[in-house]
Amino acid sequence: MTNSAIEAFRGSVVPEIEVVAIEGDPAHNLVELSRDASLLVVGSRGRSGLAGALLGSVSGACAAHAACPVLVVHPPASASPRSRRPA
């Protein structure tokens, strides 16, 4: 995902990128970390329907509650749904 974030800034100055791994609820932790961030970059797995409703959306929660701008990186349109999800 780091490369996707860099590609989003084509031709611009690439911002400092910090990759963090912590335990706990992803949406809550990312929203908390956004308080000290200039930009929050999250990926989207593209769940919809019942799976999306039951599991929730981390990217949606971040977009709604983050203290900084949020960039949601989606898989390329040419990627099949099966190739988007890890095995």
State phi, psi for 71 to the nearest 5 degrees.
-110, 115
Render pLDDT for 37-62 as a digit per residue (tens, 0 to 9).
989 988 887 666 665 555 568 888 99
The answer to whether 60 touches 46, Cβ cutoff 8 Å, is no
**CATH number of 24-77: 3.60.40.10, 3.40.50.620, 3.40.50.300, 3.40.50.12170?**
3.40.50.620
pLDDT at 13 over 90: no
pLDDT higher than threshold 70 for residue 35: yes
- CA gap 38, 51 in Å, rounded: 31
**Would you say 71 and 61 are in contact if contact means Cβ atoms under 8 Å apart?**
no
Domain residue spans in the chain? 24-77
Contact 42, 59 (CB under 8 A): yes
The pTM (predicted TM-score) of the whole model is 0.65
